[in-house]
């Protein structure tokens, strides 16, 4: 699959991610200084200093899950009702390319296409292609310029610092989707998980969100693990099984 083909969805077919990112703004990159919610990010706050969240550790977590997918599971169910495992893998490839190009400000078909254009799929080289795309995504967001100015993803214009947090959220939540669908252990990068949780929590509090940016929030006890709380905020049941 070429980068052009991989860019046909850009963002989640089941979540209008980048649209909601506009409502949360740069505050989603702020650092929480207590407990498990501490992140590797810094608040932009007029200093001109870009966030320093490294997407590499979470990208490697997802790449490891990709390598652990058995071929006989490709047609299986996922927490995204419209997507089988193979389509979820295709979506991960699409979003990796789209957010890589968003970081580079290389705007075009990969960043401009609405997320519901097609159902994503994988080609024969997916097992090697997807980890390479995830590596390229992480590398692109290590450039401080990626976190500044304006960019685009899924056909929506948004600030660079918000796009980076959205990318982290996509990797965290879809990593959970893939792990649950394929019966693998999942240990997301703590900094990416915290950024995802803060983004989702802020989005759920927006007046027009209906209580959840990506579907109705699934109630999760406040004392539950941070991952379960993030998953619930994304409209998923943390107890989901295939």
What per-residue confidence (pLDDT) applies to 231? 96
Higher pLDDT: 160 or 21? It is 160
Residue 196, token pair as written in the block: 């995802």
What per-residue confidence (pLDDT) applies to 206? 66
Residues in CB range of 91: below 8 A, 6 or more apart:
9, 12, 13, 83, 120, 174
Using the predicted structure, report yes or no on whether residue 34 has a pLDDT greater than 50.
no
Condensed to tens digits (0 to 9), the pLDDT of residues 88-98 reads 999 999 999 99
What per-residue confidence (pLDDT) applies to 42? 39
Q: Please, are residues 163 and 141 in contact by the beta-carbon 8 Å criterion?
A: no
Residues in CB range of 7: below 8 A, 6 or more apart:
94, 97, 98, 101, 108, 109, 110, 111, 113
Q: Please, are residues 102 and 148 in contact by the beta-carbon 8 Å criterion?
A: no
Condensed to tens digits (0 to 9), the pLDDT of residues 168-218 reads 999 999 999 999 999 999 999 999 999 999 999 998 876 554 555 567 899
What per-residue confidence (pLDDT) applies to 197? 96
Q: Please name which of 151, 154, 132, 155 lies closest in space to residue 143, comparing C-alpha atoms.
A: 151
What per-residue confidence (pLDDT) applies to 212? 52
Residue 74, number of CB atoms within 10 A of its CB: 17
What per-residue confidence (pLDDT) applies to 15? 43
What does the pLDDT average to over 42-66? 74
Question: What is d(CA 74, CA 58) in angstroms, rounded to the nearest whole number?
Answer: 22
Condensed to tens digits (0 to 9), the pLDDT of residues 143-160 reads 999 999 999 998 889 999
Q: Please, are residues 88 and 78 in contact by the beta-carbon 8 Å criterion?
A: yes
Is the pTM for the entire model greater than 0.75? yes
């Amino acid at each position: 699959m070429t980068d052009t083909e991989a860019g046909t969805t850009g963002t989640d077919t089941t979540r209008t991610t980048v649209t909601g990112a506009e409502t949360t703004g740069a505050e989603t990159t702020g650092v929480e200084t207590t407990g498990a919610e501490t992140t590797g990010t810094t608040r932009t706050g007029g200093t001109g200093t870009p966030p320093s969240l490294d997407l590499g550790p979470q990208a490697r977590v997802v790449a490891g899950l990709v390598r652990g997918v058995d071929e006989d599971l490709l047609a299986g169910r996922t927490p995204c009702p419209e997507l089988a495992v193979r389509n979820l893998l295709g979506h991960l490839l699409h979003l990796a390319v789209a957010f890589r190009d968003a970081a580079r400000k290389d705007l075009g078909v990969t960043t401009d296409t609405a997320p519901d254009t097609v159902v994503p799929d994988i080609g024969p080289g997916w097992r090697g292609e997807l980890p390479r795309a995830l590596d390229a995504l992480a590398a692109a967001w290590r450039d401080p310029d990626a976190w500044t100015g304006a960019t685009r993803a899924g056909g929506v214009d948004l600030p660079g610092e918000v796009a980076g947090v959205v990318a982290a959220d996509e990797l965290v939540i879809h990593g959970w989707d893939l792990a649950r669908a394929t019966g693998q252990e999942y240990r997301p990068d703590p900094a990416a998980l915290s950024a995802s949780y803060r983004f989702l929590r802020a989005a759920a509090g927006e007046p027009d969100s209906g209580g959840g940016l990506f579907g109705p929030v699934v109630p999760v006890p406040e004392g539950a693990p941070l991952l379960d709380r993030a998953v619930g905020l994304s409209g998923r049941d943390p107890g989901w099984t295939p």
